[in-house]
Amino acid sequence: MYVKWMITQELNCLYFPVAYKNSATLSRKVTFHFGHWQRELEVRYKEELPENTFGLSINIIRDLFIPDDLNYDIYLKENHVHVGPVILYLVSKRMLRDLDALRERIENTTPFNGLILLSTPSHIDMDDKKITGYYFYPGSHQTEASWKEGTFSYPDVIFKRVPIPTEVNNDLYETLGGRLFNSTFFDKWDMWQWLAPHKTIKNHLPHTQQIHALDSIIEMLEMYPSVYLKPKHGSQGAGIIEVKKKKGSFQITDDSNTITHTDTLAKHPVIKKVMKKKKKYLIQQGVPVSHDSRNIDFRVYMQKDHTERWTCSGMIARFSKPGSITTNLRNLDYLLHGKEALKILFNSNDTARLEQEIIAICKNACKHLDEHGCFADIAIDFIIDHNQHVWLLEMNKRYAYKSFSILEEEALFRKVIRTPFQYARSLAGFPNSKSNKK
């Protein structure tokens, strides 16, 4: 339904078409909700209102901004009228400068009614519970889709794609009753600590520990042929180092794939650099996985959909350039669909079973993740060894979308973008989505 501001002397009134008088059981007074904003309003019926329009008395406009060029859904719960949904997409300042890309992303993937807001943490006013930013206008037959500026009350739900100062994060989380995802940003060590206590998951985690001293590296090399030194907060393969023990010496490969050898780890410049920042590094068991001299890992996109349950939206496989220790975009040779890669690497008869096993393991990991906050959009990186054992490496909250364009997989890209918004809609209390008619 569309909103119309009614020029009237009446205060704090909610107006419906006369047709609603018999179809909806409403009390004389109801609590009206738009995002987090709410107020008790008196219900009136107007013959001049079309069936797809509700009205609000003009005095409310001083306190509440509801764009009147959007189509909203309404649901009634007891004596409460909810209009929306109102979803805030919280991004970085850099992303906020690329409105065209964000417009295309939303326009092509979220065909439902309601208000989608776009903002960044610095534009949130905790005192007034207001957010300055943009709202998405889907366009019409005469006009194109666009972003329009405005100042809005707190929303129903927040989809967070950027870190937020703790104070702001806590305020949003508490004010919205936990309807903020992905609510907590965590690093590789947090992930390991959260998942390792669960027996069904620990078996799928490479042995990982913090680096306390040089002996941490040497002792783990006594257990495994190779180890990886990883920054706790690293991304895109930056800072990752592989160390192998070879006939009394050590082979070290840094993140630029430069290989050097040393008899004494303590004297090697790369290791010395790590030890100066040892509190920021982890040491992890190396699991040998390669195909034609290429390292391989997989990424599965785990998301909650409109059912509010974890589902697998898709899976890809990343093959590194020969000799590279990471599969990030800089060292990427090629990508394949996950199922296609499984058929190449393993017996094709095992592909369906292995895919189901992967999804089950990742769902289990995500459910345990939920014990530490509200999450709904996670990319899990994992490898599969030659015994078809699955090893979880990392759970990413702010993963990039570049792989979809490289793979030329528009359908998967749209699904991955769309699914969290479907979850947000459901989390706001609205039933299955309806098309946003232009």
At 129 the three-state DSSP class reads coil
Domain assignment present for residue 24? The answer is: yes
Note the pLDDT of residue 257.
85
Domain termination site, one of 51, 84, 117: 84
Same domain, 152 and 215: no
Domain assignment present for residue 25? The answer is: yes
Nearest to 224 by CA among 288, 309, 267: 288
Domain count, the chain: 4
- φ/ψ (deg, to 5) at 214: -60, -30
Pairing of strands 157-160, 86-90: parallel
Token digits of residue 151? 């100042």
pLDDT band at 437 (very low <50, low <70, confident <90, very high): very low
Domain assignment present for residue 431? The answer is: no
- φ/ψ (deg, to 5) at 128: -90, -5
Instruction: Give the residue ranges of DSSP H helices in 67-165.
Output: 93-96, 99-107
Residues 412 and 415: their CA atoms lie apart, in Å, by 5
Alpha-carbon distances, residue 433 vs 86, 114, 210, 430 (angstroms): 13, 10, 45, 8
Domain assignment present for residue 434? The answer is: no
Note the pLDDT of residue 428.
96
Domain assignment present for residue 428? The answer is: no
The string of pLDDT tens digits covering residues 10-34 is 999 999 999 888 777 788 999 999 9
pLDDT (average), residues 383-391: 93
Note the pLDDT of residue 407.
84
Same domain, 332 and 266: no
Same domain, 144 and 60: no
At 16 the three-state DSSP class reads strand
The residue that leads in pLDDT, 328 or 201, is 201
- Number of neighbours of residue 90 by Cβ within 10 angstroms: 26
Same domain, 407 and 301: yes
pLDDT band at 433 (very low <50, low <70, confident <90, very high): low
Same domain, 98 and 167: yes
Domain assignment present for residue 435? The answer is: no
Same domain, 301 and 402: yes
Instruction: Give the residue ranges of DSSP H helices in 269-350.
Output: 269-276, 338-345
Same domain, 258 and 165: no
What percent of the chain shows pLDDT beyond 70?
Answer: 97
The string of pLDDT tens digits covering residues 208-230 is 999 999 999 999 999 999 999 99
Instruction: Give the residue ranges of DSSP H helices in 61-165.
Output: 93-96, 99-107
Provide the b/e sequence for 138-160 (b: ≥16 CB within 10 Å).
Answer: beeeeeeeebeeeebbbbbbbbb
- How far is C-alpha 239 from the geometric centre of its chain's CA atoms? 24
Pairing of strands 115-119, 86-90: parallel
Domain assignment present for residue 436? The answer is: no
Local structure of residue 309 (DSSP, 8 states):
S
The string of pLDDT tens digits covering residues 267-299 is 899 999 999 888 899 999 998 787 776 888 999
**Amino acid in position 154:** Y
The string of pLDDT tens digits covering residues 127-163 is 999 999 999 999 887 788 999 999 999 999 999 999 9
Domain assignment present for residue 232? The answer is: yes
Token digits of residue 81? 């009228």
- Number of neighbours of residue 260 by Cβ within 10 angstroms: 12
**CATH assignment of the domain containing 396:** 3.30.470.20
Domain termination site, one of 181, 216, 236: 181
The string of pLDDT tens digits covering residues 228-243 is 999 998 666 678 999 9
Residues 197 and 256: their CA atoms lie apart, in Å, by 34
pLDDT at 410 over 60: yes
Same domain, 384 and 278: no
Same domain, 67 and 127: no
Residues 157 and 159: their CA atoms lie apart, in Å, by 7
Note the pLDDT of residue 367.
97
Alpha-carbon distances, residue 114 vs 60, 271, 418, 428 (angstroms): 19, 53, 14, 11
* Residue with the two structure tokens 């209390």: 429
pLDDT at 55 over 60: yes
Pairing of strands 241-246, 180-181: unpaired
Q: What is the mean pLDDT of the chain?
A: 91
Residues 342 and 274: their CA atoms lie apart, in Å, by 35
Same domain, 294 and 374: yes
Domain of 307?
188-203+289-423
pLDDT band at 438 (very low <50, low <70, confident <90, very high): very low
Domain termination site, one of 285, 302, 330: 285
pLDDT at 305 over 90: yes
pLDDT at 64 over 50: yes
Local structure of residue 321 (DSSP, 8 states):
P
Pairing of strands 377-384, 310-320: unpaired
Same domain, 197 and 295: yes
Q: Which helix (H) or strand (E) holds 316?
A: strand 310-320
Same domain, 298 and 224: no
With contact defined as beta carbons under 8 Å apart, do 331 and 322 qualify? no
The string of pLDDT tens digits covering residues 246-273 is 888 999 998 888 999 999 898 899 999 9
Residues 331 and 322: their CA atoms lie apart, in Å, by 9
